[in-house]
Amino acid sequence: MVNRLEFQEDLSAIHRDMIRLGSMAETAINKAMQALRESNAVLAHEVIQGDDAIDTLEREITQECVRLIARQQPRASDLRDITANMKLVTDLERIADHAEEIANSTLAIIDSGLTIQIPADFHMVNDLVTRMLHEALDAYVSRDLALAYHVIRTRDRIGFVGQGLLKLIVKTMQEEQGSIPALVQLILVTNHLQRAADHTQNVAEWIVYHLRGTYVSELKDLPDEDLSDTRMPTVEQVNESPSSSDMDGEG
């Protein structure tokens, strides 16, 4: 017989671990970009060394999700919650991997001994990606559909600015050929930021799936961001209500 209270407690533990993993990924990307801005090798090494803890937590969350499905009998909405988290955890871990690669590029620039001017648009892409990730995590905690939709829309803006930034770096290469090794690393960092944005968009899309039971790809158009009825009960509120897992509606 399924113990619904025990199930809800286990699911709550997964939610808490997901929030912790998201915070670790956000810290990693912010610290990696700070290391690049400041040419700080110590910070870059901290990001690289911290990736193992993120990988470990990702595996633990995945294993707990599988265990929960195997040992319990999750109903429709619960199963959707668990499967969405299994997808989310992979994207968050990949964001941290891109942070590690940014840290590696920072060390390569420092080791080259070259001094390069980081374009202003680079900071814009950085700010957009970190804000996008922060908002995606907020949407997860607050179960806010409108914010999840906003995150998905932001990805297009990052792509537009990122493409312009790549063209600028290539132009700088032509003018400052002695700096090419360091500028190549900047191109790699730009690509890693855009891939991190892709995974953040995935996070937002899995939040939509969790809350609506609908894949974003199935929507003809994203709903307006000013909808007033898109905030569901928060993770904390859901976790405090064991009876919520007794509902097996699809919406």
pLDDT, position 246: 42
pLDDT, position 5: 83
**pLDDT < 50 stretches in the chain:** 1, 228-230, 232, 236-239, 241-251
pLDDT, position 248: 40
pLDDT, position 161: 84
**Domains by residue range for the chain, with CATH:** 4-236 (1.20.58.220)
**What is the number of residues in the chain?**
251
Q: Which two tokens stand for residue 159?
A: 């792509």
Q: Count Cβ atoms within 10 A of the Cβ of residue 21 and give its class: 0-12 exposed, 13-18 middle, 19 or more buried.
A: buried
pLDDT, position 146: 93
pLDDT digits (tens, 9 = 90+) for 22-38: 999 999 999 999 999 99
Give the max Cα distance, the chain: 71
pLDDT, position 143: 93
pTM for this model (two decimals): 0.85
- What region, left, alpha or beta, does residue 213 occupy, with left being phi > 0 and alpha being psi -120 to 50 degrees? left
pLDDT, position 217: 79
pLDDT, position 162: 85
pLDDT, position 251: 34
pLDDT, position 159: 83
pLDDT, position 196: 95
3-state DSSP call for residue 119?
coil
pLDDT, position 224: 67
